[in-house]
Structure 1
Amino acid sequence: MANKVELQRKDIKGDVLVEEAVFNILNDYLQLDSSVSTAQVAAAISKLPPEPKSGSKTLDDGFFFDLWGGIISIAEQIPYEHAAQDKLVKLIRELTLLSDTGITVWQSRLWTDLPVLAAAFREYLNGPAQSKVKEEQLRIDQAWVRFHAFSARLMGAGVIHFANQPIWMLRDALEEEKNPPKSSALDRDLITAATYIEFFGPVLVERLAADPDPELSNEDRRMLKGGSLFHGEPGLRPDRWSFWTRRFKEEAEKTNTDEARDIALRAARLMEVWSETRLKPQ
C-alpha cells in the first residue's frame, strides 16, 4: 500500500467535489507523513463556517451539507484498507471534542453533535449508481465500498450511531441471491459487508452477547427483517450471525477476484473466532 494518498478536488467531469479550503486542509493532513496534528486540523475546520447573523445563535445547513459531502467525497477516494481512512475518522471525532460554541444547526450543537452529518450520510445510502461503461462502474463500486468502510469505522469509533445500517448491508450481500457469480456487483456487495465485520464487528458481537434475544418494536421488526434467504427472526440474533458466517464462506467461492474472496473468508473467520470467544455459552 502506497503511503501517498492521491486526492482530487473535482471529478472527471470537472464538477467540484470538495470546497477548496477544506480540500487543502485535508490533502495535507491525510498524507501518512504529515506533521499536522488532528487537533490542528479540527481547529482549522472549525473556523470555516460563516458567522451567525447579528444576535443569532443559529446557522443554516448549507455550509454543513457541503462540508460533510466534501469529506465523504474524500473518503470515497481513499482505499478502504488505507490508514488515511483512520485519520479521517480521528478528525471527525476530534471535531466533537471542540469547545461548545453555543451555536446550533437544526437544534444540534456545533460541533459536539456533528449537525447535518446524519442527513448527509443518508443521501449516500440509496445504493450504488449503475453504468453501462465498465470503467465508470468500477469507479462507482470502489467509491461505494470506500464510503461504507468509512461509515463502519466511524460507527466502530463511536462517532456516529446508525444501528440499522450494518444489518442492511449484511442483509443485501448475504441474504439475497441478486448478484450472479463472478460478477463485479457480487464482489462489491461482499466486500462492503465484510468492511462492517472488519471495522464494526467487535461492537456487533458485544451487542449480540449482551442481548441475544432483543425485543423489537413493530417498526424495527419491519426495518430489520431478513432477506429472502434468511427465515429467522428480525434483528441481530445468534442464528442470523451464524447464517452470515456461513454465507460469507459460500459467497467467497463465487467471487470474481481474489481480493473479494480473501476479505469474505477473513470476515467469516473473524465471526467464527468471536462466536467461540464472545458468544460461547458460559
Structure 2
Amino acid sequence: MASSTAQSASSPCETEMHSPLQETADPDKVFVLCRPLSDDADTPAQWQISEDEAREMIKDAPMPSHNDPRAGRPHPHYDREGFFTEEMAGLAELSDAAPHNEKRAKLWAYPACRFDYTRSDGDPGPHRIITDQYKNILGVVSHPVGNKSKFVCAKVRLLAQSRTCLSLSPSAKTKTSPDGWISFMGRRKRPSPAKGGNPLGSEYHTPCISNVQGYGNDGLICEPVYFLSATMPLPNPIPKLHLQQPDESPSEEDYDNLMSNTWQVFKEYLENDDKLTLHKAALRLYNVIPDDERGSWAETHVMGVLHEVAEQIPYWHPGQKKLVRLVERLVDSGCLSERFRVEGTMPQTESLGEFREEARRRTDNSLVMDPRNWAKVKGLVNTCAFLGRLSAAGVLNCSDFMIWCMKDALERPDMPPERWNLYLSTSAVWILTGGHLFFHEVVLDRVPCNDRDQPAFKADGLYKGAIFGLDRWRFWQSRLAQLANDRTLNVTQEGSGLARKAAAYMAALADNVEW
C-alpha cells in the first residue's frame, strides 16, 4: 500500500517512466464528436481532436491522485454509460480512499482544452479526455448540448497519411498495411472534419492515392479528386454553379414558400462560398423540418429538392462535396431520424428513406432509358457520382445500386449502341467516387445474399461466377478497360477517359488482396 501511495504522489515525469504510459500517440487517430445543432455559434455541431493534440493538452497536467469528483482536476470518471467497459477490465484502481457510495476510480477526465489546473473556477468546456491512472488516453467524451449530467462518446477515425501511397497506373503494384481495411456495416454518423479537412473522410482506412497526373488529394483523408484525363483537365478556375429551380405546377401558398425557401438555401450555400456557411445552411434546413416523430411532408420535400440539386452539379465539381457535407450535418442533427408508419396516417420514412427510394427510381436503368425520361438522363451521371460520395462518407450505403448498374452496363451481351456512353460513364463514376467502399462490400466483407437479393444480384449474363468476390470485381475491371478502348462503340472521349481511370482504380484496389 505504501509503495502504491508513493507512486501516486511522485512527479509526473517520474511516474511516466515507470508506468505503461504510451511512448507516443497514434498519429493516425482522431476523436470525432457530434453534438446537436445549436443556435449558439460558439457551440459547433461537430468537433474533433487528434490523439497527438489530446496528449499535448494533458502533458503538463497533474497525474490522477484522488477519487473525489468534487476535488481538483483531473476528476475521477465512473463511465456510467459503459463506453469503456472493456478497457476498464484490465485497469487497476487508484489506492486513494473513495467518497461515500462511490467506488475507487479506474478512469480520469481531463478537460480537452488549455486548462489552468491551479484554479478551481476555470471553464473546462464540454469535452473530456479520458485516461487511466498513468495518463494513457483511452478516449474522448462530451456533454451533449444542454445536458451536463450525461456524456456521449467520440467516434475514432483513422487517417490515411501514413499508409503506403498507390500509383494508379495499370501496372502499379500496390501495398497497404495488414489492418488497412476496417469493417463498414451500415451508416455511421461520421461528422465532418475541422475546417480545411476533407469533407469525405471515413472511419475505415482507405489506400492513399497520389502521384497521378490530373488527380488530387485534399486534406485529412485521401478521397481522390478525379479529373477526366491528362488531356482533359478541369476548367481553371472552377466555374461557379448556377442552379435552376424546376418549374412547379400551381399549388398551395405554404408549399410554394417552402419550395422557394429550400431552393434559396441550397443556392446560397453552393453558389457562393462566402454567402452561407455550412452551419447556417444546415440550421435553416433543420428549421424547415418539423420536430415530429411521425415525419412530415416538409422532410419529403427537402429530400426531393436535394435530388434536383444533385442532378445539376457536375460529377467532377467540388460542389458535390459541399452538398455531401450538408447532408451529413442534417443526418447528424437528428432531423432526419428514424420515422415509423402510424395507422391512419401517410406512410412514414426512416433516415433518408425517401431520398434512397427516389434514388433507386432515378438510377433504375429500365426507367432512365425510357424515351419519356430522357430529360432526366443528362443528370444521371451526376446523381450516381453524388450517391457514390454519400456512400463513401458513410451517410447512405448505395452498394446495391452500384451492383445493379455494373451488372446492367458490363454483363449484358446485347447493349444497344446508343446506351454505351451513358452506361460506361455511370459505371465509372460509381467507382471513382465510392470505389473503396464498394470494393469492401463486394470483395472484402461480402454479406450473404438473402432470398430477395439473390435474383437481383445473380450473375446471368456475360459473367458466370460467384455473386460476390474478387472474380466479379476483376471481370468488371477488365470490361471497363476493354470497352474504354473500343473505338467501334458510340462513346465520347469523356466517357472513355472515365472508364479507363475507373478500371485503373479497380486494379489498384484489387492488387491489395492477398487471397
TM-score, L = length of structure 2:
0.47
For residues 276 and 318 of structure 2, the distance between their equivalents in structure 1, rounded to whole angstroms, comes to 15
Shift in Å, 1:114: 3.5
* Alignment of 1:251 onto 2:483: yes
Aligned twin of 1:169: 405
Letter in 2 for 1:188: L
Match of 1:144 among 374, 380, 383: 380
Match of 1:204 among 414, 438, 452: 438
For residues 469 and 378 of structure 2, the distance between their equivalents in structure 1, rounded to whole angstroms, comes to 30
* Alignment of 1:232 onto 2:232: no
Greater helix share, structure number: 1
Aligned twin of 1:75: 310
Larger radius of gyration: 2
- Asked if 1 retains the 8 angstrom alpha-carbon contact of 2:331 and 2:337, the reply is no
Q: Deviations over 1:145-191 (max 9, x none)?
A: 1111111111111100233111111111101134334x3x2111111
RMSD: 3.0
* Alignment of 1:121 onto 2:359: yes
- Asked if 1 retains the 8 angstrom alpha-carbon contact of 2:336 and 2:350, the reply is no
For residues 444 and 338 of structure 2, the distance between their equivalents in structure 1, rounded to whole angstroms, comes to 35
Cα gap change, 1:250 to 1:87, in 2 (>3 Å): same
**Which structure exhibits the higher relative contact order, with contacts defined as CA atoms closer than 8 Å and separated by 6 or more residues?**
1
For residues 152 and 96 of structure 1, the distance between their equivalents in structure 2, rounded to whole angstroms, comes to 17
Letter in 1 for 2:457: L
* Alignment of 1:186 onto 2:426: no
For residues 131 and 224 of structure 1, the distance between their equivalents in structure 2, rounded to whole angstroms, comes to 26
Shift in Å, 1:105: 3.4
- Asked if 1 retains the 8 angstrom alpha-carbon contact of 2:481 and 2:503, the reply is yes
Match of 2:289 among 49, 54, 57: 49
- Asked if 1 retains the 8 angstrom alpha-carbon contact of 2:412 and 2:461, the reply is yes
| TM alignment of 1:90-105, pairs within 5 A | 90-98=325-333, 100=334, 105=339
Q: Secondary structure at the match of 1:123?
A: helix
Match of 1:217 among 441, 450, 459: 450
- Asked if 2 retains the 8 angstrom alpha-carbon contact of 1:128 and 1:140, the reply is yes
- Asked if 1 retains the 8 angstrom alpha-carbon contact of 2:320 and 2:386, the reply is yes
For residues 210 and 129 of structure 1, the distance between their equivalents in structure 2, rounded to whole angstroms, comes to 32
Cα gap change, 1:34 to 1:189, in 2 (>3 Å): farther
For residues 179 and 5 of structure 1, the distance between their equivalents in structure 2, rounded to whole angstroms, comes to 34
Match of 1:40 among 280, 291, 297: 280
Q: Deviations over 1:248-281 (max 9, x none)?
A: 01221234210010100111111111111x2134
- Asked if 1 retains the 8 angstrom alpha-carbon contact of 2:243 and 2:309, the reply is yes
For residues 68 and 97 of structure 1, the distance between their equivalents in structure 2, rounded to whole angstroms, comes to 15
Structure 1: give runs of 5+ residues left out of the alignment: none
Cα gap change, 1:38 to 1:146, in 2 (>3 Å): same
For residues 257 and 103 of structure 1, the distance between their equivalents in structure 2, rounded to whole angstroms, comes to 42
Aligned twin of 2:300: 65
Q: Secondary structure at the match of 2:362?
A: coil
Shift in Å, 1:59: 3.3
* Alignment of 1:268 onto 2:503: yes
For residues 232 and 97 of structure 1, the distance between their equivalents in structure 2, rounded to whole angstroms, comes to 40
- Asked if 2 retains the 8 angstrom alpha-carbon contact of 1:255 and 1:261, the reply is no
Letter in 2 for 1:142: K
For residues 102 and 243 of structure 1, the distance between their equivalents in structure 2, rounded to whole angstroms, comes to 38
For residues 111 and 165 of structure 1, the distance between their equivalents in structure 2, rounded to whole angstroms, comes to 19
**Count of aligned positions:** 263
Q: Which deviates more from structure 2 when the two are superposed, residues 242-251 or residues 121-130?
A: 121-130
For residues 104 and 151 of structure 1, the distance between their equivalents in structure 2, rounded to whole angstroms, comes to 20
For residues 457 and 336 of structure 2, the distance between their equivalents in structure 1, rounded to whole angstroms, comes to 37
Cα gap change, 1:103 to 1:95, in 2 (>3 Å): closer
Percent identity, please: 24
Structure 2: give runs of 5+ residues left out of the alignment: 1-234, 251-255, 343-347
Greater strand share, structure number: 2
Cα gap change, 1:102 to 1:198, in 2 (>3 Å): closer
